[in-house]
Structure 1
């Protein structure tokens, strides 16, 4: 049996330059060739500047293009990208953190009370009585592992699934809620023109 070069009428001296190493190398790149072109933390920081919202949006758009069509998950990603784009355009900093009192008062749910086959929408792991992980329910009835939900609530005063608001200690948020309660007609005018 002839080798590859003989079968394709190629002389070993005509071997092409390796794409990975940049010099004359054999046709079988090894792991070091990949490490030589792989991004390092230094080069990654040079490519993406902190606070570059455009890079973040391009990242999510690239993810969206690679995800197969799963209906609801595709719609969720569309909503997330739309929300990020709107926040970038408006200069908004996003939802404030949930109040510490609200987070502390989250109910603990027995895993046995959760329908079988249900999973946490954050980590996608099924709730299991064998795993020592407590679950909790938001006022909107969405169920999460407490370890998944609390970090989200420490940054946002909304359900991570449906965006229903929960109380916040943020002074700007409290002032906005007070204005909404004092001027319900104004809020209706803003909504319906």
Structure 2
């Protein structure tokens, strides 16, 4: 049976060049596994159903993502690239994100305040035909069009805030903010959820009042 290289006319040197042109994103499976334990969506997905997250659990999620982003930063430094906002080799924005994560790991919140997976799924997708060769992801600094099938999303805070979904999704799930202007989407989600719960409680209370009223005249 012919090898992959022979069938596709690809030499080892060509494969090496391909892997060095696009920084390889780190494996985030550990991070998402940790996140699902401390901030399950839906609740049934939690392995420890009745467990309450403790600061050490939340801190582990922040450190895990910081380590993954540090791998990405080192890949940028090896490639000599710059961050999309021009903040020097290695990516200024990425360094800021890592610093913020490590700071949060020292004094973690009791609960993760990021957005839901549904929020990420609902972000506006940018078609390849709308992207320009000069546009890069602010986090990984890779031109969007370097990927034959880019999955680029626009955050709701500003029409120019475009990211590779693979890069911005873990940050949104953990922090819930735009990496560029810190617009807090997680807070808005929590406020909507709180209002939804209050509306349900009011409706339940009204139904109980109606039942009591009907019972008086039964």
Same fold, judged at TM 0.5 (above): no
Q: Computing the radius of gyration over CA atoms, which structure comes out larger, 1 or 2?
A: 1
More helix by share: 2
**Structure 1-normalised TM-score?**
0.43
**Structure 2-normalised TM-score?**
0.39
